[in-house]
Amino acid sequence: MTESPHPLLPPATPVLRLDGRTLQVGGVDGRSGVRVHPAGPDVGQLLAGLDGRRSERAVRAQATAEGVPAGVVDDLLAGLRAGGLLSDLAAADLLATDPGPAAAARASTELPAAATGPGGAGRWHARRLSAVVIDGATRVGAPLAAVLAASGVGRVHVRDRGAATAADAVVGGVSAADEGRPRALAAADAVRRANPLTDLRPLPTDQAPDLVVLCRPWAAVDPLHVSLHRDGVPHLVATVRGETGVVGPLVLPGTTSCLRCADAHRRDDDPAWPRLAAQLAAADPVPSGSTVTCLLTAATAAVQVLAHLDGAAAPAVLEATLELRLPGPLPVLRRWPAHPACPCGAAAARMAGRQRGQCPRE
Ligand SMILES: [Zn+2]
- pLDDT tens for each residue of the chain, 362 residues long: 456 789 999 988 999 999 989 999 999 988 889 999 888 888 989 999 998 888 999 999 999 998 888 899 999 999 999 998 998 888 877 765 556 788 888 888 888 888 877 777 788 888 999 999 999 999 999 999 999 999 999 999 999 999 999 999 999 999 999 999 999 999 999 999 999 999 999 999 999 999 999 999 886 666 677 888 889 999 999 999 989 999 999 999 989 999 999 999 999 999 999 999 888 888 778 899 999 999 999 999 999 999 999 987 889 999 999 999 999 888 999 999 999 999 888 888 777 777 665 544 44
End-to-end CA separation in angstroms for the chain: 30
Is residue 27, in this structure, part of any structural domain at all? yes
CA-to-CA distance for 16 and 39, rounded, in angstroms?
A: 11
Are 285 and 218 spatial neighbours (Cβ–Cβ below 8 Å)?
yes
Position 361 scores a pLDDT of: 44
At a CB cut-off of 8 Å and minimum separation 6, what does 330 contact? none
Tell whether 285 and 219 lie within a shared domain.
Answer: yes
Ligand 1 centroid to residue 253 C-alpha, Å = 9
Neighbours of 271 (CB within 10 A): 8
Element (H, E) at 186: helix 183-194
- Indicate the residue among 41, 61, 91 that finishes a domain: 91
Is residue 229, in this structure, part of any structural domain at all? yes
CA-to-CA distance for 166 and 164, rounded, in angstroms?
A: 7
Pairing of β 131-135 and β 87-89: unpaired
* 205: CATH: 3.40.50.720
Ligand 1 centroid to residue 251 C-alpha, Å = 9
Are 353 and 359 spatial neighbours (Cβ–Cβ below 8 Å)?
yes
Position 258 scores a pLDDT of: 93
CA-to-CA distance for 8 and 107, rounded, in angstroms?
A: 12
Position 223 scores a pLDDT of: 67
Pairing of β 131-135 and β 155-159: parallel
Position 240 scores a pLDDT of: 96
Ligand 1 centroid to residue 337 C-alpha, Å = 9
Are 190 and 156 spatial neighbours (Cβ–Cβ below 8 Å)?
no
Are 190 and 142 spatial neighbours (Cβ–Cβ below 8 Å)?
yes
* 29: CATH: 3.90.930.60
Position 335 scores a pLDDT of: 96
Tell whether 220 and 171 lie within a shared domain.
Answer: yes
Tell whether 292 and 227 lie within a shared domain.
Answer: yes
Residue 118: cis peptide before it, omega within 30 degrees of 0: no
214 has which bridge partners? 135, 237
> Residue 273: what residue type?
W
Position 97 scores a pLDDT of: 55
Neighbours of 80 (CB within 10 A): 22
Tell whether 64 and 209 lie within a shared domain.
Answer: no
> What range defines the domain where residue 192 resides?
130-355
Ligand 1 centroid to residue 257 C-alpha, Å = 5
Tell whether 26 and 173 lie within a shared domain.
Answer: no
Tell whether 27 and 143 lie within a shared domain.
Answer: no
22 has which bridge partners? 19
Is residue 111, in this structure, part of any structural domain at all? no
Among 128, 117, 156, 139, CA closest to 286: 139
> Residue 82: what residue type?
A
Position 316 scores a pLDDT of: 94
Number of H helices, E strands in the chain: 13, 12
Ligand 1 centroid to residue 274 C-alpha, Å = 16
CA-to-CA distance for 334 and 332, rounded, in angstroms?
A: 6
Ligand 1 centroid to residue 258 C-alpha, Å = 4
Beta-strand (E) ranges in 37-164? 87-89, 131-135, 155-159
Is residue 125, in this structure, part of any structural domain at all? no
Among 142, 134, 195, 133, CA closest to 167: 142
Q: Into how many domains does the chain fold?
A: 2
Tell whether 84 and 148 lie within a shared domain.
Answer: no
Residue 274: cis peptide before it, omega within 30 degrees of 0: no
- Indicate the residue among 61, 91, 121 that finishes a domain: 91
Residue 249: cis peptide before it, omega within 30 degrees of 0: yes
Ligand 1 centroid to residue 206 C-alpha, Å = 25
Is residue 319, in this structure, part of any structural domain at all? yes
CA-to-CA distance for 160 and 297, rounded, in angstroms?
A: 19
Backbone angles phi, psi at 296, to 5 degrees: -65, -40
Tell whether 145 and 65 lie within a shared domain.
Answer: no
The 8-class DSSP code of residue 182 comes to B
Ligand 1 centroid to residue 318 C-alpha, Å = 13
Tell whether 248 and 334 lie within a shared domain.
Answer: yes
Position 92 scores a pLDDT of: 79
Position 121 scores a pLDDT of: 76
Are 174 and 186 spatial neighbours (Cβ–Cβ below 8 Å)?
yes
Tell whether 35 and 168 lie within a shared domain.
Answer: no
CA-to-CA distance for 207 and 41, rounded, in angstroms?
A: 53
Ligand 1 centroid to residue 248 C-alpha, Å = 14
Tell whether 292 and 183 lie within a shared domain.
Answer: yes
Ligand 1 centroid to residue 113 C-alpha, Å = 34
